[in-house]
Each structure stands twice: as C-alpha cells, then as structure tokens.
Chain A
C-alpha cells in the first residue's frame, strides 16, 4: 500500500509540474503575440499622428488692388495673386530661383482656396484679407519635426526657405490645425491635399456589393448542402472543392475577375461593382464553410422536434435551425467580409489601383479601396506620404475592429440557449 501511494505521489508531482509548464508556455505565447501586436499598432500609430494635423500658412492679401470684378471671380486665375502676396510678405526676395522657392511654401491648392473663399464671401474683395492656406508638404514636415534645421538644410528645404518659415512662425502666421482635409477629400499627387475619402467610399461600395452577393448565396448554399442535399460522392466532391476555394490565393480570384467580369462580361474597369464581385468570390467559400459549421452545431433534437410535430423540412430549417445557427453564420460572414476589406491583390488585377481623385458616387464609377490606397501611398516618393500611409492603415484597422466588434455584438444579441 505504502509503495503504491509513494509511486503515485511522485507521479502526481510530475503531472502537476507538466500542467504548470504547459500553462506557463501558453501565457508566454499569448504575451509574445500581444507584444508584437502592440509593437505594430504603436509604430503605425505614432507615425500616423502627424497626419492628423495639417500646417496652415496665413497670407495678408491686398484684394482691393487686384480690381477683380465681383461677378468675375469664378473665371479669374488666382495664382498670380498668391504669388504677389508671398512676394509682398518677403520683399527682399528678388532672384527668380529664390522666388520659385518662396512660392513653394504654400500648397498648389492655395489659388483654389482663395477662389473658394471669395466665392463664399465676395465682400473680401473690398479690402485686405488675412487668409489661411494649406502649407506645402515640405513646410508641413518641417513644422511637425519641430524645426530640426540640420536635417532639412540641404534636404528639400533650403536655408532661405527655413528662414522664411521662421519669420512666418514668429509673426503667428503658421498654425497646425486638425486635418479635416484628410477625411473629406480624395487622393492627390500633392501629399498635403491627399485624403482617404474616395478610398473609403470605394471600399464601402465594394463591400456592399460583396455582401449583397455573397451573403445570400453563401447562406443558401450552406443550408442546402447541410440540410437538404443527399450525402453522396458529388456533395463530398463539392465540399472538398469549397474548402479548396477558401485556400486559393486572392490574386487568383483577381485574375479570374479580370478574365471573366472585365474581358467577357465587359463590366466597367476599376469599379466597385467588379471589385465587390471579385471579393465575393473570395468571401463565398468562407461564408459557406462558416455557415455549414454553425448549422452542423445545431443539435439534431431541434430538427427532430420540429419535424416530429409535422413541420416540413423547409419550415424546420428556416423556423428553427437557421435562427439558431444565425450568430455563427453572421460571425463567419463578418470575418469573411473583414478579410475582403483588407484584401488588395484581387483589386489590383481589376484596375482598382488607378489614381482616383473623385469620390465615387455609384458602384459603376472608377474607385479605389483602402488597402490599395495604402499600397499606392506607401509606393510614393514624397516623404509626406509616409504619414498618410500610416494614417490610412489606422483608418483601415479602425474599420476592421469595428467589423469584428459588430460580429461579437451580433453573436451576443442572437445567441440563444438550447
């Protein structure tokens, strides 16, 4: 007896030790995973902070002396007026090359901004007005870097330009404001003007198309396969192929979309319609697999209960089985959609990589998508696009988190005990 219990207690010790080791291993694994995630989020987050603000430069413009008639504002070019105002602010600048550098302080949007303000308030033409303009990307970066001269002298900004910036700063004519522009405008060649809205709308439209196509088709396919289809060699073959489809690299779906939707069907290139169709090809297997798994998880007793009182198979499925599977189906679909939101490769193939400035207003207009916009900006030579890229990544992650939260909320809302 004693021998027996001694042997047992030694073994028991080892068993407890192995459990403790396993638990610690698991904790360390989670810690490492969280660490990397936090590192990634922090590095992107820090970089993107710069894109949240935008530097503005104020110029005093003597508008009375321009003699622009109030009814001719729309047809006037304001470029020369901006240039003259800049020269008036820094009268010492004489050389042609110097002047060109001076004009580079404000964004090329300045003349349009002036026109917009005058159209809104023609009364400004009667006097001298102090108007805020978006600074050029180099000025913006300089201000945001806190004025590290050495780095910028010999870089994009000359010593002269830095001198002017300091003069403007000292006279209170440079300001950093919240960058609404980023959320309300489309892409631009000029980093200071580039915004995320057109990509955001493009992504939203594509996802809407993707959802409308893949959710009903996927759920119905899953319900048919799981509840009605006979189990034979054909359905087994189908199941294997659906699983294979879920594993196909997304760029292959992009090529398929290019070959079929664009070249055979002749649908409009770069449009959210085609983007959504390609993404739904990708999402469909995910939704089918998730929906089948959650239908399979509904206990057979529910089916039997319904059939036992004479519900037809359709009634049993739609009244009892499908509602119970709904949380799982929704979660699977949203996760599939979230993957579609983040996917770039298939969209490149169907031309959604184009440079799109305008915010698309329908699913047939050319558009781009968030991940593609990130790809485009990350590829741009201008340093200022680095911040924009990080900010765009934050926007994308924000929407992914929103979608995943929605999945959790929906799951909790529809979850029923059985």
Chain B
C-alpha cells in the first residue's frame, strides 16, 4: 500500500499515529503554516502560522470574533461541515498534512478529539456516551474490554466516583459540569493524540470550572491539549503556551508566562490589561 492509496488505508492512519521525524524536523505535534480561512467572501483567518508542542496545554485567547474557534476547528476539520468555509495553507499533525486528499477525516477526528463549548452528551445512557467512540472505532475486542475502557475514561475524567452506580441512567440527567466531564471522558475514550477544547468552561459555574481545569492539567500527561478560552485567568492557570488572536491575525504566541508578563505586541498588552476586548 502506498500513501496515495484510498482514504481508508492503514498507511495513512499509521502515519498519523507515528510522526514521520523527517518533516519539518521540529518537535511540534501540530504545525500550521500560512493558514487562511474564508467564510464565503469574508476572510476569518489571515496567514496563521503556529506550532503546538506535544503534551502541553496551548491556549488560544482573544476577543470575540477573532478567529480562535475557527482555527481550533480547522485542526479536526470540523469546518468541513460548513459549506461556505474554505481553508487554505498547510496544517500538519504528527507530520501528516491533514488537508491532503488522502486523509480520512473520520480517522483524523479519532486522533484529534473535541470538547465543545456547551456540554453535548448524547441523549443516551452515561455508559453509552463513553462506549460509543471505542465501539465505532473497534477499539475493544470484548464487552469486558469495553467496560474497562469506559471505566478508565471516566476515571481519568474524574467522573467515575460520581456516576459508577448509575452508568445506565441518561447522561442528560447530570449537572452541567458533570456533563462536560462526561464529554471529556467520551473524547479520551477514543485515545486521541490531541484534544481540542472550545471554551469548555464557559457554560459552567466556578466550582465546575475549577474541576475541569484540574482535569486539563492531569490530562496533559497523556494528551496534547489546545483550548480556546475567553478568560485570560484561565489561560494563565492551565496553559503552558498561549497564542493571542486579534481580528483574524495571530498577533503573538509563546510561553504563557512570557506572554502575560512581557508581551511583545502592543495589542497583546492592551488585551491582557483589559483595554481592548
């Protein structure tokens, strides 16, 4: 099988799992180069180039409408769902060009999981929510194994103790924070490399937010996390890398501490000090 074979072949998936070291020669897991995104005639992202290192939390900050969510959704090709959306430029994940014609979007999304702004568990049982991903991807060989994956995922999402006695009850009966942690468990059950989080705490109260933030810090051991957030405090708390977007442009990016203490760009400084936004 060659890399040009049809989308379902093992070679392209294998490429996703094992980064080809020769590409770019960098440690970055995600590497975006000159990305332009258009919604119809309107350009939403202008010439974005950003590298995301593995096993760190990278936060994307910026005022509303700056394009941070658009960029996030480019990384698992969620923007494909929008008819009028057009993406140009290169995005490589683990050395694989994810917009190459041979890439299977389904396999890509198994590698790049996503947690959405509003908790969106399936209207099914808690167990089914977590088990669905492993089941469709064939990650389990037996029912016991599936049970194990579900338990493990819920434990890593810090939800197991709260729901272990009611796995068969509807997920929609959980509180907002629990639902969001369930969505995280659902995402990690598929064993992705990267988890994209789109303002995961914006619909939650401070206590639930704190739990999710703790969780994000723990998950960093095993996953690379890219999080879009409105809250600069949250970015400062959870992330090691921060990228500041403004009006479709990536203004500045770097280590979180550096960006918040000694921003190079005037706009960044204005934003983090609350003068724009």
Contacts and interface: CB of A to CB of B under 8 A. Distances in A.
Interface of A: 230-231, 299, 301-312, 315, 319-320, 324, 416-418
28 contacts: A231-B83, A301-B120, A302-B122, A302-B123, A305-B116, A305-B186, A306-B122, A306-B132, A307-B109, A308-B78, A308-B109, A308-B187, A309-B110, A309-B114, A309-B133, A309-B186, A309-B189, A309-B190, A310-B106, A310-B110, A310-B113, A311-B106, A311-B133, A319-B132, A417-B170, A417-B172, A418-B123, A418-B172
A309 B120 contact: no
A310 B120 contact: no
B12 interface: no
Contacts of A416: 123
Q: How many B residues touch the partner, as a band?
A: 20 to 34
The DSSP consensus for interface residues of chain B is: helix
Contacts of B123: 302, 324, 416-418
B111 to A, nearest CB: 8
Nearest to A304: B116
Interface in B48-97: 76, 78, 81, 83
Given A231-B83, A315-B136, A418-B172, A307 B120 contact: no
Nearest to A319: B132
Contacts of B183: 305
B16 to A, nearest CB: 12
Contacts of B200: none
A320 B137 contact: no
Contact of B116 (A308, A324, A418): A308
Given A309-B187, A309-B190, A310-B136, A302 B107 contact: no
B133 A310 contact: yes
A306 B189 CA distance: 13
Given A306-B132, A310-B113, A319-B132, 18 more contacts: A301-B120, A304-B78, A305-B116, A307-B81, A308-B109, A308-B113, A309-B110, A309-B113, A309-B114, A309-B189, A310-B108, A310-B110, A310-B133, A310-B137, A311-B132, A312-B106, A417-B123, A418-B172
B33 interface: no
A302 B183 CA distance: 12
Contacts of A305: 116, 120-122, 183, 186
A307 B106 CA distance: 8
Interface string B118-140: 10111100000000110011000
Contacts of B107: 310
A319 to B, nearest CB: 7
A313 to B, nearest CB: 9
Contact of A301 (B76, B83, B116, B186): B116
Interface in B157-195: 170, 172, 183, 186-187, 189-190
Interface in B5-28: none
Contacts of B114: 304, 308-309
A306 B121 CA distance: 9
Nearest to A416: B123
Contacts of B170: 417
Contacts of A315: 136
B190 A310 contact: yes
A301 B114 CA distance: 12
A320 B133 CA distance: 12
Contacts of B121: 305
B86 to A, nearest CB: 14
A301 B109 contact: no
A307 B137 CA distance: 12
B227 to A, nearest CB: 15
Contacts of B78: 304, 307-308
B99 to A, nearest CB: 17
Contacts of A312: 106, 136
The 4 closest A-B pairs by CB, nearest first: A310-B110, A301-B120, A308-B114, A310-B109
B260 to A, nearest CB: 30
A312 B172 CA distance: 23
A414 to B, nearest CB: 11
B170 to A, nearest CB: 7
A309 B118 contact: no
A304 B69 CA distance: 14
B77 to A, nearest CB: 9
Given A307-B81, A310-B109, A302 B120 contact: yes
A235 to B, nearest CB: 11
A381 to B, nearest CB: 60
A31 B106 CA distance: 56
A306 B120 CA distance: 10
